[in-house]
């Protein structure tokens, strides 16, 4: 199978990998996507689906190409959006038959092979006033890990009675446990809904728009647009960091690709605009020549560290024993210096910076700041050679709270 290393967004260019849904299985990222098969076609030509996986969100391996002829659909060029879920050791693959119906297949691994156990749609055409396509699965974080499926099309395209619908899935994940309900939403929306949960709130999204509710069934109140994409997208938490996978236009409007960005939340629950630098360069790697690398762009931490800072931006807040990992820091100068923009609260701490082999390459002791809105710049040398490195920032200090805004790499 093909392997691609991303040096910028889109992560898998020139291959028609689009309509992305990210999932985390066994600690790895899986990308379930549609496949635009013909860059010269004036219309969408989607003859199969694709599944890719990654351990770092930078290098991606093509691991499967599910085909419609292995399902109730038969041969088709209408292989629209997909999603996947795991339950009780089985993996469930949900797929669109154009904008007509939604099917489900079952496998023993995240990449299948999958078997269409129903040999018929899970949600047949005509089940609701909308179009029964573009599924998305939410496994709630309630005690029962209740599964839900969201699907449907935009009311503005298919009539005011249309829109998004939601239903609880049965324990077997291949049947509905209740009739689908129309989601109340104070916005006209668009196609391909996604649903995720953050800090106890439910986020219904389409493209880069989103709405929020206290209940999975709604009503949902429109809150804004993070500005990453005009097409399909989804959200996922992995290694205690939030990511947005979004569709970008690659060669044409009918031959698309996938980009990745970090997701940040303001204190009031609103999502922040997608960082423009990351929209261009992608996640999981950084350039030492950047003027500023936000600490909120880490790739791994023991918990979600991102907080809104006192000046409106975002920072990583670390306590004693916590860390933040920044892999694939590229174009590093020899024996560089690093400048840290940070604020320390409650108690003094030691910040240690480790290389990928665990060796300490720099450290400094930081004293508490008088005001929580004042950030100091602390510079120190890094004992490094070579052009690409992983840096891990570790905090040591009982009761200390380090607010790391950003860092910058300098030549010695």
Q: Is the pTM of this model over 0.75?
A: yes
Q: What is the pLDDT of residues 351-375, one digit of tens each?
A: 999 999 999 999 999 999 877 678 9
pLDDT tens profile 295-307: 999 999 999 999 9
8 A C-beta contact, residue 78 and residue 43: no
pLDDT band at 13 (very low <50, low <70, confident <90, very high): very high
Whether residue 257 has pLDDT greater than 80: yes
For residue 191, is pLDDT > 80? no
Q: What is the pLDDT of residue 256?
A: 94
Range 372-378 contact pairs with CB under 8 angstroms and sequence separation of 24 or more = 372/310, 372/343, 372/345, 372/403, 373/310, 373/311, 373/343, 374/343, 375/341, 375/342, 375/343, 375/403, 375/405, 376/341, 376/342, 376/343, 377/339, 377/340, 377/341, 378/339, 378/340, 378/342
Question: Could you count the other beta carbons within 10 Å of the beta carbon of residue 386?
Answer: 8
Reported as a pLDDT band with limits 50, 70 and 90, residue 231 is confident
- Above 80 in pLDDT, residue 160? no
Q: Residue 311: pLDDT band by 50, 70, 90 thresholds? A: confident
**Using 50, 70 and 90 to split pLDDT, how confident is the model at 224?**
very high
Residues whose CB falls within 8 Å of the CB of residue 115, separated by 6 or more in sequence, listed in order: 70, 105, 106, 107
Residue 189 clears pLDDT 80, i.e. is over it: no
Map out the domains of the chain with their CATH numbers.
3-281 (2.115.10.20), 292-410 (2.60.120.260)
- pLDDT of 302 reads 98
pLDDT digits (tens, 9 = 90+) for 97-155: 999 999 999 999 999 999 999 999 999 999 998 889 999 999 999 888 999 999 998 76
The rounded distance, in Å, linking the Cα atoms of 142 and 138 is: 11
What tokens appear for 409 in the block?
Answer: 């790499």
Q: Taking residues 258-266, what's their average pLDDT?
A: 97
């Amino acid at each position: 199978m093909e392997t691609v290393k991303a040096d910028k967004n889109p992560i898998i260019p020139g291959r028609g990998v689009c309509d992305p849904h990210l999932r985390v299985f066994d600690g790895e990222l899986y990308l379930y996507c549609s496949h635009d098969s013909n860059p010269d076609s004036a219309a969408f030509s989607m003859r199969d689906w694709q599944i890719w996986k990654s351990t770092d969100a930078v290098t991606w391996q093509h691991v499967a190409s599910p085909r419609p002829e292995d399902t109730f659909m038969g041969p088709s060029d209408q292989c629209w959006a997909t999603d996947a879920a795991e339950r009780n050791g089985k993996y469930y693959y949900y797929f669109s038959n154009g904008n007509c119906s939604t099917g489900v297949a079952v496998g023993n691994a995240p990449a299948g092979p999958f078997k269409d156990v129903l040999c018929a749609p899970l949600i047949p055409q005509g089940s609701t006033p909308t179009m029964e396509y573009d599924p998305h699965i939410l496994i709630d974080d309630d005690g029962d890990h209740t599964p839900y499926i969201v699907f449907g099309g935009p009311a503005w395209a298919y009539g005011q009675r249309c829109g998004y619908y939601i239903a609880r899935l049965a324990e077997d994940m291949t049947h509905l446990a209740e009739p689908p309900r129309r989601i109340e939403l104070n916005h006209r929306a668009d196609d391909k809904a996604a649903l995720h949960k953050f800090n106890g709130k439910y986020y219904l999204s389409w493209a880069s728009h989103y709405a929020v509710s206290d209940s999975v069934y709604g009503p949902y109140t429109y809150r804004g647009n993070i500005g990453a994409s005009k097409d399909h997208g989804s959200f996922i938490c992995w290694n205690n960091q939030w990511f947005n996978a979004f569709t970008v236009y690659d060669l044409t409007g009918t031959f698309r690709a996938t980009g990745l960005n970090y997701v940040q939340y303001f204190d009031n629950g609103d999502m922040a605009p997608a960082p423009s630098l990351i929209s261009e360069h992608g996640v999981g790697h950084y350039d030492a020549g950047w003027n500023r690398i936000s600490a909120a762009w880490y790739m791994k931490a023991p918990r979600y560290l991102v907080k809104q800072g006192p000046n409106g931006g975002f920072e990583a807040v670390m306590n004693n024993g916590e860390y933040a990992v920044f892999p694939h820091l590229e174009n590093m100068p020899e024996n560089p210096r690093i400048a840290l923009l940070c604020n320390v609260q409650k108690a003094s701490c030691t910040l240690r910076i480790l290389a990928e082999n665990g060796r300490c390459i720099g450290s400094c002791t930081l004293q508490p700041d008088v005001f929580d809105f004042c950030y100091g710049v602390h510079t120190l040398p890094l004992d490094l050679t070579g052009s690409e490195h992983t840096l891990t920032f570790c905090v040591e200090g009982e009761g200390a709270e380090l607010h790391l805004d950003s860092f910058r790499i300098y030549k010695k």
